[in-house]
Amino acid sequence: MIEYFTALVISYTLQDHAVYTTAWFESEKHCQTVMQRDLAQPLYNHILELYGKDIMMHCTVSNKVSKPALKPKPRPVK
């Protein structure tokens, strides 16, 4: 299975400017695990308290391969 680098993005507005905070992972599964276990939630909650409700957190899959698919070995020639 091919895996792609995936970014956990927290986006919010700071003085009318869009801000994007990013943490990179080797797979979408790793990023989703962070979200499911609420590991980034303290940072999200702190930004929410400081700057209001215009905030979002999500995983974005890139087009850069982090782990290529395993290719089977060729069959031996008899």
Establish if 25 belongs to a structural domain: yes
| Overall number of domains in the chain | 1
Establish if 37 belongs to a structural domain: yes
State how far Cα 33 lies from the chain centre. Answer: 10
Least confident segment among 1-5, 29-33, 42-46, 59-63: 1-5
Establish if 26 belongs to a structural domain: yes
Establish if 38 belongs to a structural domain: yes
- What secondary structure, in 3-state letters, does 3-62 show? EEEEEEEEEEEECCEEEEEEEEECCHHHHHHHHHCCCCHHHHHHHHHHHCCCEEEEEEEE
User: Which range marks the domain in which residue 26 is found?
Assistant: 3-67
Establish if 78 belongs to a structural domain: no
Model confidence at 55, pLDDT cuts 50, 70, 90, reads very high
Between 6 and 1, name the one with better pLDDT.
6
Establish if 75 belongs to a structural domain: no
Establish if 10 belongs to a structural domain: yes
Quote the pLDDT of residue 7. 97
Neighbouring C-beta atoms of residue 32, cutoff 10 Å: 14
Establish if 44 belongs to a structural domain: yes
